[in-house]
Structure 1
Amino acid sequence: MTNPASGRRRTSLGLLLAASLAMSGCAMLAPKTPEQQVQAKAAEYWKARVANDYKKAYTLLVPSYRKIRTDEQFRQQFGEGASIASAEVTKVTCEATRCEAQVKLGVKTGLPSLGLGTVTSYLTDVWLLEDGAWWRFQGT
């Protein structure tokens, strides 16, 4: 014969676990703010750039740029002089259809003889909302 109190505890524990999972699932489905969306997209873009994955970075650019430039043309505009060693999106501020992402870069200079190592640089990325998605603005 089973203990009724033990069965109730298992049922209560199961209900508590199910409620907890349902609540965490709702949190994951909650819409992200534009700042959170752009923070994630900008981090993805710069992760690709650090890895020299220009094809991946290219996919995050505004569709209007991708209509007139190939991924190879995008890669070629950066040259061979310096490379990005690290990138961190430090702040994102948004308006209705435009966000600015502040990015801290660690850049390896193309002149190792100067002994500069990695130099810290800062830039502002512009992200635009088009067709319900955020895209990095890239000048031509």
Structure 2
Amino acid sequence: MSSKYPHYRRLALLALAAGVVGLAGCASIGTQTPEQVVEKRATDYWKARMGAKYEVAYQFSTPGYRKVRTAEQYKLQFGAGVSVVDASVSKVVCEPEKCEVQMKLGVKPAILMLKLDKVETYMNETWLLEDGQWWHYQDL
């Protein structure tokens, strides 16, 4: 069969090669680097914090933290001293199971009798990989 129909064999090989390349391309579309995943999660975490959605922000905490602290205890740690008005990821550097994130925060200090403008500052956070997911780490 191969000697009588050589062009069919070539077409079959080309089709097989195209299929393999196509599947490889599809697989790479859905994959993200740890830095990209953590940047998205850090952004979502801070959106929840700025929107006073502490129950949502709490869900980004490590499973170990959530075993020890309730959502209400989590919420109570944030006082009225500073209001974060904007947040953006400045830099993400990852190791296999740990990422360090530098956040740029726009904050408005709450000092009685003074009307202060927004101040920009930077803060470092740690995100840990556990059970296939990246979690916001904080001391207990």
Q: Flag whether TM exceeds 0.5 (same fold).
A: yes
SS at match of 2:121: strand
Per-residue deviation, 1:113: 2.7
Distance in 1 (alpha carbons) for counterparts of 2:77 and 2:55: 13
Aligned-CA RMSD value: 1.9
Higher CA-based Rg: 2
SS at match of 1:92: strand
Please list, as runs of the form range in 1=range in 2, the aligned pairs for 1:1-140 lying within 5 A after superposition: 26=26, 29-111=29-111, 113-140=113-140
**Structure 1 pair 103–66 and aligned structure 2 pair: CA distance change class (3 A):** same
Query: Which runs of no fewer than 5 residues in structure 2 stay unpaired?
Result: 1-21
Distance in 1 (alpha carbons) for counterparts of 2:27 and 2:82: 41
SS at match of 1:113: coil
Deviations 1:55-100 (A, max 9, x none): 1100001000000001111111111111111100111110010001
TM-score normalised by L of structure 1: 0.78
Distance in 2 (alpha carbons) for counterparts of 1:56 and 1:28: 30
Distance in 1 (alpha carbons) for counterparts of 2:39 and 2:128: 13
Identity %: 48
Distance in 1 (alpha carbons) for counterparts of 2:128 and 2:51: 24
SS at match of 1:114: coil
The structure 1 segments of at least 4 consecutive aligned residues displaced by more than 6 Å after TM superposition are none
Amino acid of the residue matched to residue 87 of structure 1? A
Distance in 2 (alpha carbons) for counterparts of 1:27 and 1:87: 32
TM-score normalised by L of structure 2: 0.78
Amino acid of the residue matched to residue 91 of structure 2? K
Distance in 1 (alpha carbons) for counterparts of 2:109 and 2:134: 31
Q: Give aligned pairs, total.
A: 118
